[in-house]
Amino acid sequence: MVTPIPYQVFVKEVASEFRTRYALNALLMFVVTTLTMVVFSLGDNTVPYEILSGMLWIVIFFSAMSGLSRTFVTEEERGTSLTLRLLTSATNVYIGKFLYNVVLILAMSVFIAFAYRLIIDDFVVRSSSIFWTTIVLGGIGLAAASTILAAIIAKANTKGTLFPVLAFPVLLPLLLTCIRATVLSVEGAFFSEAFKDFQILVSFSVVMIAASVIVFEYVWND
């Protein structure tokens, strides 16, 4: 049975990641380090839930920055980007890599969210539906922006620093919305109260994905 090519690119990414652990190791180390630092820096102090919500998304943002750029950077470093360009169209590559980043970031965000709630006593989520919807929509938005930015920076000499520098202004509206929705989840708001924030998150992802599909062909082929 012939399966869609983007799915084959996605399967290649997953299989490659499990063999090399380029992104997984970087992500895991970053998550563990930052969470440990947060716990030690808080100590016994009581921190307002607004700050704790912001810190959760800081951990998610920087963890994503440490791992998501790998998807294109490794192709350039290993010289396989030409191979991939020869095998299939830019759109198939983009969709496959985007799906992989979505799965990676959702797994990472869920792990961070569970660990964060477990180790920080003051962070009590009263509306799980708002919290998990924010995690999922925020993760998709992060993956959408990160995928195209990773493709852009993959050919630069200063990949490591360029990625968070470019990503921060692009992702700022997404992060602010995610923080606001997370605050609502801690306050125990009704799901409908966070609806406006979800609309922003969905719109961000749709705009980012649509723009990426158009731009990616030029980024990928030059």
How many Cα neighbours within 13 Å face the side chain of 125? 21
152 part of the interface to other proteins, by CB under 8 A: no
Q: Which two tokens stand for residue 117?
A: 């709630």
Q: Are 70 and 30 in contact (CB under 8 A)?
A: no
Nearer to other proteins, 78 or 196 (CB): 78
Member of 12, 117, 159, 180 binding other proteins (CB under 8 A): 12
| Contact stretch for other proteins (CB under 8 A) within 72-80, 138-146, 174-182, 183-191 | 72-80
* Beta-carbon contacts of residue 51 (< 8 Å; ≥ 6 apart): none
| Contact stretch for other proteins (CB under 8 A) within 48-56, 155-163, 190-198, 214-222 | 214-222
3 part of the interface to other proteins, by CB under 8 A: yes
CA separation for the pair 170, 160 (Å, rounded):
17
Nearer to other proteins, 76 or 187 (CB): 76
CA separation for the pair 219, 202 (Å, rounded):
24
Q: Are 111 and 139 in contact (CB under 8 A)?
A: no
- Nearest Cα neighbor of 210 from 35, 91, 74 is 91
Nearer to other proteins, 38 or 93 (CB): 93
| String marking each residue 79-98 x if it binds other proteins according to CB under 8 A | xx-xxxxxxxxxxx------
Nearer to other proteins, 33 or 89 (CB): 89
| Contact stretch for other proteins (CB under 8 A) within 75-83, 106-114, 156-164, 191-199 | 75-83
Q: DSSP labels for 117-155?
A: HHH-TT---S-HHHHHHHHHHHHHHHHHHHHHHHHHHTT
Residue 69 DSSP one-character state: T
16 part of the interface to other proteins, by CB under 8 A: yes
| String marking each residue 22-61 x if it binds other proteins according to CB under 8 A | ----------------------------------------
215 part of the interface to other proteins, by CB under 8 A: no
Q: Are 71 and 23 in contact (CB under 8 A)?
A: yes
Contact positions toward other proteins, by CB under 8 A?
2-3, 5, 8-9, 11-12, 15-16, 19-20, 78-80, 82-92, 217, 221-222
